[in-house]
Amino acid sequence: MQMDYTAEREKIVNKLAQKVKGEKFDHSLGVEQTALALARRYGADREKAGLAGLLHDYTKQMDNVAMAEKYGIPYLTEKTLHGHTAAALLKEKGYVTDEEVLGAIRWHTTGRAGMSLLEKIVFIADYVEPNRDFPGVELARELAFADIDKAVLLVLKTTIGHVVKNKGLIDTDSVEAYNDYRRLFPGEEI
Ligand SMILES: [Fe+2]
Ligand SMILES: [Fe+2]
């Protein structure tokens, strides 16, 4: 049975602490808190938001290439794999069985076209949680609570921009997501 966020939060946090260490552990708690706040703001399910927020980076510090092979997950770059491997592993262990929660974990790094509200919440919470500190984070935080679709577009634009600048490969799911959200705000200063 899926772990019960409200009843078993302490147990879930202990499991997380065994797999996710240091700053990434603090980051996970930050994403949990921001996901809960965004769920309150937009009327999403708090149990699902809290659980997905806590566990979204569950496999971040594991061997993601080996796991991608094990679960048959195709990938363009190693960086975007951990959302997919986390969803696969958590499902296999039975820790998370809810497909909405799994989707929010799976797509938290790349985003995708047509994200659900829960997927958008975790995607944005990952970027603006309280431990995040970079130029522009305040604007992204404000936008997250003002208009989540605009915030999604801003995050996609910024992250894709970074990848281009660093001469990396752009995940095609992110490109499709960018087009999808840009279409909502054609020509707007985002
Ligand atoms: Fe992540
Ligand atoms: Fe994260």
For ligand 1, the distance from its centroid to the CA atom of residue 109, given in whole angstroms, is 5
Distance CA(58)–CA(166), nearest Å, equals 26
Ligand nearest to the CA of 85: 1
pLDDT at 30: 98
Place of tokens 């076209």: 113
* Kind plus residue range of the DSSP H or E element containing 140: helix 137-146
Cα–Cα dist 52/105, whole Å: 6
Give the other-Cβ count within 10 Å of 167's Cβ.
Answer: 6
- Cα 179 to middle of ligand 2, angstroms: 23
Taking only the tens of pLDDT, the chain with its 190 residues reads 799 999 999 999 999 999 999 999 999 999 999 999 999 999 999 999 999 999 999 999 999 999 999 999 999 999 999 999 999 999 999 999 999 999 999 999 999 999 999 999 999 999 999 999 999 999 999 999 999 999 999 999 999 999 999 999 999 999 999 999 999 999 999 9
CA atoms within a 13 Å half-sphere pointing along the CA-CB vector of 182: 11
How many angstroms does the Cα of residue 61 sit away from the middle of ligand 2?
Answer: 11
Give the CATH class of 5-135: mainly alpha
Domain boundaries defined on the chain: 5-135
Q: Which pLDDT does position 1 carry in this prediction?
A: 79
Distance CA 187, CA 69 (A): 41
* pLDDT for 80: 93
Our CA angle for 167, 170, 172, nearest 5°, is 165
Helix (H) or strand (E) holding 159: helix 148-165
Q: Measure 183 CA to ligand 1 centroid, in angstroms.
A: 26
CA of 57 to the centre of ligand 1 (A): 5
Q: What was the pLDDT predicted at 182?
A: 98
Instruction: Answer whether 79's CB lies under 8 Å from 85's CB.
Output: no
For residue 174, the CA-to-ligand 1 centroid distance in Å is 14
